[in-house]
Structure 1
Amino acid sequence: MEPDTLGALAEPTRLRIVELLRGGQLTVGEIANELHIRQPQASKHLKVLSEAKIVDVYPVANRRIYRLRAQPFQEMNEWLGTFRKFWEDQFGQLDAYLSYIQKENNEEE
């Protein structure tokens, strides 16, 4: 996973833009309207997302259309998968410990 991905998504407005684009491609103006921000602000955030390779942009006439790229999210999912394994192991150990305690309590009764 690229380090820029998490940095770009850490900013709340950019995260909201990504959530909007999850529903499909949008223009800068549509994004600005949805988020109630000015178009230059939206463009600034979209530039960061584009540089982090989270979104693709392509021109259609005089408009710029933005859409999410799948690759950074696939990489993030794989990276997070390593932590899922860690937590599954931790929960497995906790489950074994709780079963052990329960068994001891039942034997004492």
Structure 2
Amino acid sequence: MDEVKDLIERLFRTELPSRALDTEVAKALGWKEEADGVWVNTQGGRSPRAPFYTSSLHAIYTFASSLSPRGGASWENGVASAQIGDGRLIQAKTPEIAMCIAAILAVHSKGD
């Protein structure tokens, strides 16, 4: 759980998309990289690389929609917000990053 907490803290501080963070976010959301380099998620989805979660609102919103039919993201004047279901309202520099944080919290709060 310390790794997840550290990732969330770094996401709150980041201002730009990052492929390195995409990889960490994907792992935190349940994706695994197989020996052949193909990424597999818990629903059986396969991808040749980790999804572009920190730069693609479509990618992270699609994942978030699998967690709850309710939620969304908004942005205005340099701050973005995101929420998934009844989860915490998250504010970050971009809607993608806010949605990443909200998704990680939703995944890791299940069973609490």
After TM superposition, the score normalised by the length of structure 1 is 0.29
* Bigger Rg over Cα: 1
After TM superposition, the score normalised by the length of structure 2 is 0.28
Larger relative strand fraction: 2
